[in-house]
A = this chain, B = another copy of it.
Amino acid sequence: MPETTRRADRPADRLSGTRYGNRPTMKDVAARAGVGLKTVSRVVNGEPGVTPDTERRVQEAIDALGFRRNDSARVLRKGRTASIGLVLEDLADPFYGPLSRAVEEVARAHGALLINGSSAEDPEREQELALALCARRVDGLVVIPAGDDHRYLEPEIRAGVATVFVDRPAGKIDADVVLSDNYGGARDGVAHLIAHGHRRIGFIGDMPRIHTAAERLRGYRAAMEDAGIPVEERWMSLGATDPVRVRRAAEEMLAGPSPVTAIFAGNNRVTVTVVRVLAEQSRPVALVGFDDIELADLLQPGVTVVAQDAAALGRTAAERLFRQLDGTLVQPERIELPTRLITRGSGELPPAG
């Protein structure tokens, strides 16, 4: 049949509607066990009021047919899905692994499953994902925002979808947010470099439209200003953090007559690339990175970082989400978790050249 679908380009529309491969239902089980439908339901759900003998008969029928309760139908009836959604930027990013896992653990403790998807830093994809999750009636949503306007979630929140934003604040709506102290962490990290004698300090960060990136840049500027150091434009690089771009940025600020003697790297990806670039330099350049990276202590020198606790971010957010669902929470709040400066050598190098 030529179905002329007008806007059938939405995800869920693309799978066709073949039935489950003929799965047994409670009705089938009931027929086989010679009992009523509701009795099967009672057995499946461990409700009281079934004689051991009847229960045994039902159980046998269940085993024989390979019955498994259809939670979709159950959800329709009960109104709760016991699942929460997580919209993050990139599952493959080592920063989000622990965060994701922490959210999952909390969900598990509350008997909920986790559905997650990556926005790939694309606001439109974030929205598409979040709304798809809402259509599935997740009980709650943990969002690591890619966009800066979340008014599209207003009807959902009003309808009772618990919502918590992590890592970056929500845009244009009032909602729970759990953040790291990006500003303070960056400021301290840069101040650390200044304390070790640096004055020409480079900053390589992500696009400033990303909240964390903007905050870290603000921290950098604050530390410099506190020390009375005027920042030169060419010390700063703000843009995509792919290796090619970062490498060029680093090499540029390390070239010329008065190169930077230290670099502050705005996130884990930047840090990794900068470490590579610095390894190729003839003179030592100090480095402090935002986000911890694995094996940072084993490099020569060890990489000094401003570490944030990704797991704590996820855990805190998820716990807050379930407290929203409990009804114990009313007022949206902004929670800021502290960062920690871990000195390993690279940030304590004195200025060279």
Contacts and interface: CB of A to CB of B under 8 A. Distances in A.
Given A13-B45, A160-B20, A299-B298, A81 B91 contact: no
Interface string A287-316: 000000111001110000000000100000
A37 interface: no
A289 to B, nearest CB: 12
A42 to B, nearest CB: 10
Contact of A78 (B17, B110, B154): B17
Nearest to A85: B113
A5 B295 contact: no
Interface residues of A, number: 94
A79 B134 contact: no
A13 B73 contact: no
Interface in A270-295: 272, 275-276, 279, 293-295
Please indicate which of the listed interface residues A90, A158, A276, A295 has the most CB atoms of chain B within 10 Å of its own CB.
A295
A116 interface: yes
Please indicate which of the listed interface residues A16, A23, A158, A294 has the most CB atoms of chain B within 10 Å of its own CB.
A23
Contacts of A136: 71-72, 83, 113
A62 interface: yes
Contact of A108 (B3, B22, B117, B137): B117
A315 B71 CA distance: 28
A68 B295 contact: no
Contacts of A101: 90-92, 118
A146 B207 CA distance: 41
A91 B90 CA distance: 12
Nearest to A139: B15
A41 to B, nearest CB: 11
Given A68-B155, A72-B136, A97-B97, 17 more contacts: A4-B67, A4-B68, A5-B68, A14-B110, A17-B79, A19-B79, A20-B79, A22-B160, A70-B135, A71-B137, A94-B97, A104-B117, A113-B136, A114-B115, A272-B294, A275-B298, A294-B295
Query: Lowest 10 A-B CB distances belong to which pairs?
Result: A21-B160, A66-B155, A8-B46, A14-B111, A11-B111, A6-B46, A92-B101, A17-B78, A19-B79, A92-B97
